[in-house]
Amino acid sequence: MRFVDFLKTTVLACAGAATVLAVLAIRAVALESDTALGIFAVSWWVVACMLGAWLGRERSTLPAIARLLAAARSTTTLPEQVKPGRVLLNRLWPLFALLVLSAGLAWLYPQVPAIAAGFLTIWALYWRNQDSAVTAIEERDGVAFYIERTAPWKPMKLVRTPGYRRIERPTAST
């Protein structure tokens, strides 16, 4: 799976999980007529949106992603193609565990999904520009980054393969 596609999917998965948890929190507010929880949740989500948008405003790669790209192993052949669902499950299992745990606790403690939705919103907004930053590096260097198959508990590794280099046309001046 290409690393750029993984980054896009991660942002969408975080946003989707935040939406599911927010719906569960809103459901609890509606069923229990708990206006205090409703005010807290909406206030936290507004703060989370502002914080995530502010943290994710940079268009350059994050230091962790820059280190991951720099440590990528170079090869001239495409890596073993693993099904994207397996890669996502392998790499995003903490997100899925958080979603299941928070959703399960929603029946007893409706504050948990409200808080988790805010943190997932921050995460999604913080990472929203990383795919375009990696794409720019790929186009500049004429490479493509793929996720290497690793164990779920081990750090992610990338493979750097030849790709297409972006060639700018000279502009005609008049």
Using one digit for the tens of pLDDT, what is the confidence trace for 6-28?
A: 999 999 999 999 999 999 999 99
Residue 161 CB coordination number (10 Å): 18
State the pairing for strand pair 158-162/143-147: antiparallel
Cβ contacts of residue 67 below 8 Å, gap of 6+? none
* pTM of the predicted structure, to 2 decimals: 0.85
Position 82 pLDDT exceeds 80: no
Domain ranges, ordered by start, for the chain? 3-162
Residue 115 CB coordination number (10 Å): 18
User: C-alpha angle with apex 86: 80 to 87, nearest 5 degrees?
Assistant: 65
Q: Give 33-76 pLDDT, tens digit per residue.
A: 889 999 999 999 999 999 999 999 988 888 889 999 999 998 88
The residue behind tokens 């490479």 is: 143
Residue 3 CB coordination number (10 Å): 25
- 63, 117, 71: which is closest to 95 by C-alpha? 117
